[in-house]
Structure formats: structure tokens, C-alpha cells
Structure 1
């Protein structure tokens, strides 16, 4: 037996205690390093967040309207990006809209009506955390709409958006794309983290097993609704920080405001930001190579 701080321990117990202390120290160092990295990343977003304030001021002064759609797979980083985009913006002139299931009354209305009710007034930005494109992906997969309702939407949405843009609204359509393995990792974290468990829904729990269904619907949506007047921009979001930074660049580039920091890099990373048309081509090429879509 060996006495340590007045306590008798066997050599094996002493070794186990040493290993436990060593692991605790290593975990503490990892946590500190991760927190420091996160802080540096958040700091590096601030110049772009300052530009977003200038962009918003331009919209207010000119009376322009702006709509930003955040679409993508579950756990792809939409919510975190929205929070970073709006963090320092004037709350009086921006709104985040995340609509729930339509009521029976809303289901009897023109499909776009409940979204139009949330559209921006002059000088305002509205950010949709999921939008009318629920009907292009989630609803047909889970049977929340009929095949006829889906077909009518796909026929009418491009004209709806063309009219929206023609009348002066700036429309930005972002699709956040995460890999299957990364989505699974994020879901697992949500299951075990009490601060994130609220994010898990019934749809989330089926996202992995219906991965291919979501991929097929994504392909159809991008192929049929990526247009010159309302193009899709795909954001690779496995790296959350890179996704947030480049989404801000895309948003800022969509508005002809007077930039404040001309030394700031406004060019989106081509490895992170992909046009909807290019994504469709990549998916088609992958299907030819492997016999199925990937992405």
C-alpha cells in the first residue's frame, strides 16, 4: 500500500487515479482550445455583421424590400446562421419567420397566402427559416400534400418568384447542404445535450433513414426552380463557421449598398458556395458514376 495525502492506495489505484487526472487535464485543455477557436471565429464574423448593418441602412433609406430563404436538410446549420446574420441588425427592420403547420383555414387558402402575409414592407428584411419550399421537399416525402398539390406548386412557384422580383423585392434563396455522416453526428449530439434536445422533432428522427428521398426531392427542386431571376445558392455546411461566413458574403453581394470596409473579402469560397445549376450538374454526374444521387 502507498500513502497519498493521508489515504492508503494500492499501486493499481494510484495508477488509475493518475490516469483519471491526466485525462481530466487533457479534456480541460481541449475544451479551452475549442472555446478559444470559437471565440476567434465569432470575432472574425463581426466585420461582416457590421456590413449587414450598412446593408440594412441602405434598404431603409431606399425603401427596398428583401427576403432571404433558408432551406436545407435538418441540422444543416440554418438556425445558427440566421442568428449570426441578425445578431446586430436593427430589430425594428428585420424579422425571422418560422411558420408552423398550416391551420385548416390556411389549408383552404391559396398556398402562398400565409407566406405573403409575412412579406416585408419597404426598408425591411424578412428571413424565412424554411419557406414555401416545404412543399417541394418535406411535404411530399411525408405525405403532407397530395401529388396534385405538389405538381401545382412546382408549376407555379417560378412565376410567383419572378413577379416578386419584378416588383422590386430582393430575393436570396440559400440551401444548406450537409453530409449524411455529419447530420448523424449532429443528431446524436442533440439527443445527449439537454440544451439542444428541443431541436429534435419527429421529422428529424426520420431524416437519416429517408436520406435518399430528401436527396431526390432536393434535385427536383433545384433543377426546376433555379432560375435567372431567382437562383439557388447552395452552402456546404459541414463546417458551420465557413457556412455562416460565406452565407453572409452571398447576402451582402445581393444588395447594391455602399460598402464600409473595402479591404474585407467579399468573394465567396467556391468550395463552400455552389450555384444551384452547378449543384444539379454535380448530382447528375454522380448519378452517372455511381447509379444514384449523392448530396
Structure 2
């Protein structure tokens, strides 16, 4: 069966839609309901259901581990930076969302910078990224990063070849400086095939809820697939350094990519349980003269559901 086979295409479309529904389910799952849901899936033990059952179980387990990692980062005052790079629609955002889903946003935050403004274009190239680096006890996930210069900026002609050459001279030293300063730096490249990107773009075109993800720049990137490939290969060649190596995530299968990425990230930072004092709720103070006043009807949100 090939990508052009109508039955294969329909299966892929169904799987893509199911993935969107699963995203909503993931936020609703708690430990008790997970077991109930998995038991329901047992009644339909086809291949897709088995894969979904494994996915939900493993995602939930890994997210528990991410919470332990988060506690350790705070406890030890670690500074963690994770870069997510890859072609448009490669699944970077989906992986980031699963990492941050259950974490404290005051500890783990996402940096997704827009195109530089006029003032920023005159700054040292790394300056606007440096402003988002973590303090002690923080994790920052970069949804695209300073590697824009080696990718979209180079391919789309937003910088000169001299700029790119200077970037390749500077970035290894910049990253070594970050690591020497105590930052834990992890770099991921999400890899998909030409056919898979074509499919994901087509799904975005026909899904009103996802059309916002498809910018004119994304559309142009389809035409320049080979240019992006050459740029990626050059980037990896110049910036895969011992202090901050690249890790390639095979991302054609979204669910496996997310699980593999999270599991690998957890292995990069040795962590342990953090001792915590038990939480005891105090008795509520009750005063005889306290009267709770009713909320005016015109302030209440209408009960439509």
C-alpha cells in the first residue's frame, strides 16, 4: 500500500483526526480515569487501539517523570534549555505541548519568538534569545531558536551568506559559553519525510481549526524542500559539538516521536525524588459575624450548558 493509495490516504486522515481528539483527551485524563479508559479499549483490541492504549499509558507515565524532573530542577537550582528545531509541521509544537501540559508554567516556559523587529535586527544576533535564557530553577523550551539563521533566514534570503558564515563561527562558542555558565543545553531536530510534510500541510489546508498553522512562509517551504535539506545538513555539520550535540527525533509517527523525545529528555538530566513536607490543611476559621453576600444576577455568566 502506498501514500497515493486512496484507502491509505483515508486511514491517514482518520488517524490525524483521532490525534486531534486525543490531544483534548490527554488534558482530561487523571490516574483513575486512565485505567477506565484503557479497560474500554481492551474491548476493541485492533492494532490502532492497542497503539493508542500504549501511547496514553506511556505519556501519562512520562509526564509523571517530568514533574519529578521539574521538582529536581527547582530543588537544585538547575538551568535547562531545550531547543526544538525541524521543518514546518514536523511536530515540534505537539511535543512541546505534551512536555508542558502538566508542569508549572512558572518553572517551565516556552519561548517562541516572532520575526525580529527593526531594532532587534541591529542587535547582536544572539541578544534577543539571550533575554529568554533561564535563571536558576527554570526550564525554557525554545520553539525554534537562534538556528533560524541557519534555516529559514538563509533559505528565504533574509540574511546574507556572510551572516551565515559568521553564525557558524559564533554559535559553537556561544553554546560552549552557555554550558560553561551552568546551563544544561539539549538540542532536538524533528525529522519527517517529504511525503509526510505534504500530507500534514494538506490536512491543515482543509481543517479550519489548523489553518492558522499554515503561513505563507510554510507554503513556500514546500517548494524549497531541497534547499532546506541542504541548509539542515550544513547546520548539523557545523554545530554538532561535544558540549551541545544534536539529537534527531524520527517524527513521521507523531505519537512515537513525542514519547521518544520525552523519554530521551528525561535521560539527559539525572534527577531524584525531592523530599517534601506533608501538606496538612488547617481548620477554616469561622466567625459568627461573617455573612456571605449573594452575587447579583447580572454578574453571573449565563448557564447555557
Q: Same fold (TM over 0.5)?
A: yes
Match of 2:283 in 1: none
Q: Give CA deviations for 1:140-187 in whole Å, capped at 9, x if unaligned.
A: 110111111111111100000001001110000000000000000000
Q: Is the counterpart of residue 41 in structure 1 residue 59 in structure 2?
A: no
Cα shift at 1:199: 0.3
How far apart in 2 are the matches of 1:242 and 1:128? 21
Match of 1:144 among 158, 173, 179: 158
The counterpart of 1:79, out of the listed 82, 93, 97, is 93
Match 2:181 to one of 167, 187, 190: 167
Q: How far apart in 1 are the matches of 2:49 and 2:97?
A: 19
SS in 2 for 1:119: coil
8 Å Cα contact 1:51/1:259 also seen in 2: no
**Other-structure match for 2:6:** none
**Pairing 1:114–2:124 present:** no
Q: Distance in 1 between matches of 2:221 and 2:261?
A: 24
Across the aligned residues of Structure 1 and Structure 2, the Cα RMSD in angstroms comes to 1.9
Match of 1:56 among 70, 88, 91: 70
Q: Match of 2:262?
A: 248
How many residues align? The count is 232
1:258 maps onto 2:238 in alignment: no
Tell me how far apart the structure 1 counterparts of residues 217 and 123 of structure 2 sit (CA, whole Å): 25
Query: Are residues 37 and 253 of structure 1, via their aligned partners in 2, closer, same or farther at CA, if it must alter by over 3 Å?
Result: closer
Gaps of 5+ in 2: 1-13, 19-43, 275-305
- Distance in 1, matches of 2:60 and 2:106, equals 20
Q: TM-score, normalised by structure 2?
A: 0.73
TM-score (norm 1): 0.75
Q: Which position in structure 2 is the counterpart of 1:202?
A: 216
Query: Does structure 1 conserve the Cα–Cα contact (< 8 Å) formed by 2:72 and 2:273?
Result: no
Partner of 1:289: none
Look up the SS of the partner of 2:119 in the other structure. helix
Where does the alignment leave 5 or more consecutive residues of structure 1 unmatched? 1-26, 261-295
SS in structure 1 of the partner of residue 106 of structure 2? helix
Rounded Cα–Cα distance in structure 1 between residues aligned with 2:261 and 2:144:
15
